[in-house]
Amino acid sequence: MRKLWTKAGVLGSVSMAFGSMFWSQKKTETTQTGSTTACTEPPSPYELKLVQVLFRHGARTPLKSIPDVMEAQWVPNLLEPPAHTHINYVVTDLEGGPRPSSPVEDSYRANILSGGTYPGQLTTVGMQQLYELGERLRKRYIKDTAFLNPTFSPTEVYVRSTNIVRTIESAKCLVAGLFQQSQSDMVSILTTEAESEILYPNYHGCRLLKHLSGHRWAESSTLPDIAADLRSIQSALGIAAHQRVDFILIRDDMVARETHGLPCPPILDSWRNTVEQRAVEMICHIYEPSKRENLQLCVGPLFHTLMGNIEDHLKGTTSESNRKLFLYSAHDTTLMPCLMALGVFDMQWPPYAADITLELHQHRQTKEAFVKVSYIGKDQLIPGCSGVYCPLQEFKQAFSNYSLTSELYESLCNRTEDMADP
């Protein structure tokens, strides 16, 4: 049995599953004459109104290589974009102006991996993964339900990304798969400067979050069980004692290599499960889901935005009345605290191209609103919800435990009084 985080911080139910899909299946029935004919499924009592997809970027080059071990060759041809992922797009700030500078991307480009490429770059494999996620969404929302127009329209689809090349390119590839490169207009991918980003826990933009959690990254490697295993794997791999490594770094390089068919140190085969387990335990220590305030500061503004999109749609107050789909291109460090806050984290690291999908439905007869959450295509029962189709008020209550308005978030982030030393 997998251990799961509950909202109380106790291990409860979770799995990165937010990409709800209903795969229509053809059924047959035998008529009185003995012939077999396809029967039509009864229409769902729920009418789909709005979809929001929060997804991780695709496979990439590692952020750092494991030191003192055989290096993989990250050559440029691993980054060639497939022709079918091409679309006409532009990257802007949130107001449609020039794309902001990206200090995170600049930091990647200050280093070069063995083979000649930069760390953290989307690869051909990763591009294809997002294209295939787009195709999966196409089946659900265009082919099976005709919810979306088969041609991209900016009035219908909103695309937002963190200001990092791999997430921008991932958004582009998903849109290419979703609409099969058919577009009525330029695709605008909106982003913002690092200091105000809400699509990941922002340690640079939120002083209180940095104070509460910043030290916990280094601290997580010193926890007794983790530290003992880390010493053992360093010794097994022949990594010098002075080298700074942790299980998250080891996992990142290991998974990147395996995904691209590049050689791994053979000794890692016997350590794979331990590496996965310890990396997730480190993340849980860093985000500290048992403390509500920490998760609030990680996901609060994002949760407020997602709920705001739902409420605006229901009230009809949005200026974009035809908007049906919001796409948010982000990171594993986005999805994990979101899953923890929703009470459905399954203690498994989100794979490349994992998605959390929120669907807003309206009951055709009662007109009551419902929200359905899925993770990697699997529907989730959110704690506090009476069913997978969660009545809006129940969902709002579950969301409100962690949602923060931008004003409250800013106020909390700048709070310095009573800050005890961590």
Contact 380, 171 (CB under 8 A): no
Sequential pLDDT tens for the chain (422 residues)? 444 444 333 333 333 333 333 333 333 333 334 444 455 667 889 999 999 999 999 999 999 999 999 999 999 999 999 999 999 999 999 999 999 999 999 999 999 999 999 999 999 999 999 999 999 999 999 999 999 999 999 999 999 999 999 999 999 999 999 999 999 999 999 999 999 999 999 999 999 999 998 899 889 999 999 999 999 999 999 999 899 999 999 999 999 999 999 999 999 999 999 999 999 999 999 998 888 999 999 999 999 999 999 999 999 877 777 899 999 999 999 999 999 999 999 999 999 999 999 999 999 999 999 999 999 999 999 999 999 999 999 999 999 999 999 999 999 999 865 554 44
Which residues lie below 8 Å from residue 215, measured CB to CB, with a gap of 6+?
422
Can 331 be counted among the known catalytic residues? no
Long-range CB contact pairs, 118-121, < 8 A, 24+ = 118/61, 119/61, 119/62, 119/63, 119/64, 120/60, 120/61, 120/62, 120/63, 120/164, 120/165, 120/166, 121/60, 121/61, 121/79, 121/165, 121/166
How confident is the model at residue 25, as a pLDDT? 35
Beta-strand relationship, 89-92 and 187-190: parallel
By CB atoms closer than 10 A (0-12, 13-18, 19+), residue 217 is middle
Can 57 be counted among the known catalytic residues? yes
Of 229, 252, 253, 332, the active-site residue reads: 332
How confident is the model at residue 40, as a pLDDT? 62
How confident is the model at residue 218, as a pLDDT? 87
CA atoms of 412 and 301, how far apart (whole Å): 12
How confident is the model at residue 43, as a pLDDT? 80
How confident is the model at residue 416, as a pLDDT? 62
Short-list 388, 385, 384, CA closest to 373: 388
In Å, what is the CA distance from 179 to each residue of 74, 144, 215, 309? 31, 14, 44, 22
Of 57, 285, 304, 331, the active-site residue reads: 57
How confident is the model at residue 41, as a pLDDT? 65
